[in-house]
Every structure is written in structure tokens, then in C-alpha cells.
Structure 1
Amino acid sequence: MLPLVTANLRRRSARTFLTAAGVAVGVAAVVALLALSAGLNNSAAQFVHLGGADLGLFQRDAGDPTSSVLPVTLLPRLRAQREVAQATPLQLLVDAVGGASGAIVIGFEPGSFPARQLVVTAGNGMSPGRAMVGDLLASQLHLRPGSVVRVSGRRLPVAGVYHTGLSYEDSGAVLTLNDAQAIAERTPNEVTTFAVKLRPLTPAAKAERELTKTFPGLVPISDPGEAVRAGSSTVLISKAVLLVVVLALLIGGLAVAGVRLGFVESELLPGALGLGGFISPDLTAWGVGRAALIGVAIGTLGALYPIWRVTRMRSVVALALT
């Protein structure tokens, strides 16, 4: 059987190429969309635990967590909650560093717990009008103390280089809160999120329930999946992933089916001519069955990996549908 299939594929190279291309369309689209899902999860994890926080407080129903806008006047009430050990405001600037796509710039108060975790490896610490850059970003852009880094089009001198051990922070930069608010065109009373450290032995789920009751307009997030669900735009993307994955598989299957039907048609024509007495019939049931069998086998093999990948990954598609 296998030698017969191999010989058949070699004899009709154009048909084989088109069949493989149909399968490739479905597989490539599925893999690309699943990579998008994984990217959403990774991005969500970064924003939840910025500055070493146990959870983040964001504006409810914001387009995504990075577009959240919170009033700083809520901070005293937040710090007074019995579940909260420390809380500090953060201003986020996403994809704001020139020459470093995707780098995160964080603005926070000098002396806050995110600032205390910065290990200065070169130069000086935070100061107004100056930026500190992570060691990974410094290596990527060849920066050092005294260099200039562009943040949202503004040129800022580099005060120092830091290391935190968290790749997404070491690949970005930090500013004082006032500087970050000015660059983001926020007032001194507006920030993106509150980073919260919980008291020892306080379960995150319990803290989230209490904070939700106390601050109805905010959503506390301690898990990346919750961050994905919190943003309306990411939920739409997640649902679109499921739809387009199905469409991609259908496109691949239809491409395969179309090629196989073309092959069957090419076999039917000689058979029809043979019945009319023009040429001798050579179309058999085995010929039609073989064409269908090869098409189904190739389509099944092409779908195995996407199906396995979908069932194995931490899919934001599943999160969006819950």
C-alpha cells in the first residue's frame, strides 16, 4: 500500500504540491493564532506582577489593563485595608522606548517597594528628569550612564543601569512617577494601576474578594488569565482566535478536498469517454477509493498537531469562553 501511495504522489507532483499547500495553510494559521494566545498570556503575566507585586488593581472594563486610569486619591483607603501590607501607584508606558519594540517603562515613587528591588549595577539610582534602564535593554541599545534614551519621543539622560532578575523589567526602563505621568499626559492624580503587596499568609483569592467589595469600580488581578478576561479587547481577540482556528482548518480541508476532487474528475472523464465507446474505460472503484483515502489521510495528518496543541496549551480561548 505504501509503495503504491508513494508512486502515486511522485507521478502527480502538481497535485501533491497543492494538497500539501492546503494542509500548510491550515496548520500555519493555527500555529500563528495559538502563538498569539500565548503572547496574550505572557503579556498579562507581566502587567499583573510589575514591581514584584502580589496583585494589581486596575480600572474595571478598561479596553485592556494598560489603558486603565485610576485616581491616586484612592491610595490612602487602599493602604488602610487589613489585607494590604504595601501599595504604590504605577504609571505604565508600553512600547515607548525608541529602538526597543515592546519594552515597558514603569513610573513609580522613589523609595516605594518596586524601587527598593532595583539593584544598581552602574551609575546612580532614580532621579527626576533621568531614566534608569534595565541591564538587558542597556545591552540591546548599547546604553550606559550618561547615554541618552528616547521615551515616547523625549530624550532622557541615563542615570544608571539596574537588574531585578525579571526579564520584562530588565528589558525596560524606570522613571520617577511624576516624569512618567507627564510623558503619558496624565495629571498628577492619575495612574495606570496600584501595585499591592499582601500581608503574610493572606490568600490572594480572599484579598481579591475583599478589595472588590471595597472598590467596586476596580478589578484586583493576581492571575494572568484574569488579566486577559479583564480587558474587553483581549477577550474579543481570544474569541476571534477560536473562530479563525476553525476557519483555518476548514480552509486547509477544502483545499485538500478541491485537489482530490480535481483528481477524481480527471479519472471520471476517461471513464465517461470509455462508456461512450471513445476509449477503453480504466476507472475503477479502487481508483476512486484510493483518491478519497489519500485525501482523508493527508487531511488527518495535517490536523493532528493543531488538535494536540490546542488540548495541551494553557489557552486563553478557554479562559475567554468561561
Structure 2
Amino acid sequence: MEKIIRQLTLEDLHHLEEMDTGIEDDYILRVYKRISSGSSRLYGLFMDGRLASIGGYTIFAKQYIMLGRMRSDLRYRGKNLSTQLMAHIMEQAFELSTIQWIGANTQQKNLSARRVMDKLGLAEVSKLYSAISSDISSLGAGSPVWQEIMEIPYKQAWIDRLYIQTGAVFPYECYYTFPASEALFDDAELAQWSFFENPRKDRVLIAKKDYKREYYLHAIYPWDDIMEQPGFWETISMAQNQLSKKVNNQALLWIDLSPDQVNTLPGRHPFELPSPWLLYGIDRHNRKQLPAFSG
């Protein structure tokens, strides 16, 4: 049986449509043009001319790659094809001299994807819950909102202290978290992000607009005292309402919470908390020999 791996093009969409993945209304079919061009790549593993497995990546901040979009035809399951394909993709990605880190984000409940990550030699980096809500007003107590920071150097100082010096993971976009480096934080993006500082000036909340089929206020806060800081939830509510008016649509809140932060939430909190997302990754300088692909 002939086995071939190659990058997919726009002309390959019909191969994808013929796959039997068991996924109803797969979003990949709707966004195929976008995820197979530009900063994204999509690859396919073919068995005797039939597309058996797909996977790809997107480049962020010129030096990060996030793997994803793994699908396999049900008729070829159990043949280790996803691992072979993703190993090939990682080899291709590290051929790009600017790429310093490759990772993947999958939900804890996705055991098959996690097995692939383990086989690829990717280490688990972090666990975060994507807490989503349309209305968090019940969490506030009427406290004054925090002071917004406008100066880029002041914003950069907070980023440097919390993320660059520590190497902590940073939720760069909804779904996409990376180990922090200076590449993630250019001045143009910091100018678009809102920073709010508490009255004691020892806490900062970062809020930014994101769009993933819906508009989100993406909130980032690295401390565990989310229920102890007066004005924290009021500030998020204010920013969420402002974004809703700006986009002329209801913007949802998305805040990435650690397990410790989730444990501090009240019993009747307003969040949807699906299975947590596990970030896996590998640094260019620490990568091991990848599983070989035999054509």
C-alpha cells in the first residue's frame, strides 16, 4: 500500500470532503482556504491515493508554531497515521530557521490526541480552563473599576515582570497559549490591549478583543485571588460592555483560569467550564529524535 505525505493545496479540498472522520459539520471544511495558506499549513497522509489523515500548523509571532487540526479517516484508524503525519509536520516546521518552539493544545478529555503528543515527545506545559460567560455581573459587589494604563512602557514593564522574566505561559489568543518571550509582545499589539491596575498597583488585568466565530473579551490575570480583589470583576464587566458596544454585538467573556483559580470560584458561578486545555510543547534546542516516517 503506497503511503505519501504532502502539503495540501486548495485543489485538495475534495479529498478532505471524501474522508469519513465521524465529525458532523467539521469547521475545517468551512475555513479550509484560510488554514491551508498564509501563516497556516495543512498536510495530508495519503494511502493509495486516498486521504487518510490530516494535520497542520499555524505560525504565531514569527517564532511559535501551534500544531492542530488532526483528523483521521475512520477506515484507517489504529495504524498510527496521526503520529507519523505530525512527526513529518514537526520536521518540516523546524526546517524554518525562525521557529523556536512547537506546541499543541488539546482538551484533557481528548485521550487520542494526548497519546499522539506523548509519542511525538512533546511535554505537558500547562493546564488552563477556558471560562466563558455572557454575563458576570453576579460576581461583582459594586466596587470601583481599576485604573486603565495607557503608556506603552508601563504596559511593557508589567509584561516583563510577569511573563518575560518568569517564562510563564501567556494566553496570546483564545485557544492559543505560549511560553512567553519578547516576540509575543510588540508595541503595536500592546497598544491595542487594555491594561487595568488595581488601587494598590500590585495587580494588573489584561483585556483584549478576540474573534473565534464570536466576539470575545479575552481577559488575562495570573494571580489566584480573583475573588479577593475589589473591582476586579467590575472592571472586566465594564470592558466587556465597552467591547459589545464597539462591535455592535454581544461580546462574551473568555478568561483562562488555572485549576487553583477555578477552585476559588463560588459554587454558583456564571461560567461554562469545559474540559481543561492541556498545552504541550518542545523547544528547538531540546527536541529529541522524532518518530521516523517510512514512505
Q: TM-score, normalised by structure 2?
A: 0.25
In terms of fraction of residues, the more strand-rich structure is 2
In terms of fraction of residues, the more helix-rich structure is 1
Structure whose alpha-carbon radius of gyration is higher: 1
If asked which structure has higher relative contact order (CA below 8 Å, sep 6+), I would say 1
Q: TM-score, normalised by structure 1?
A: 0.24
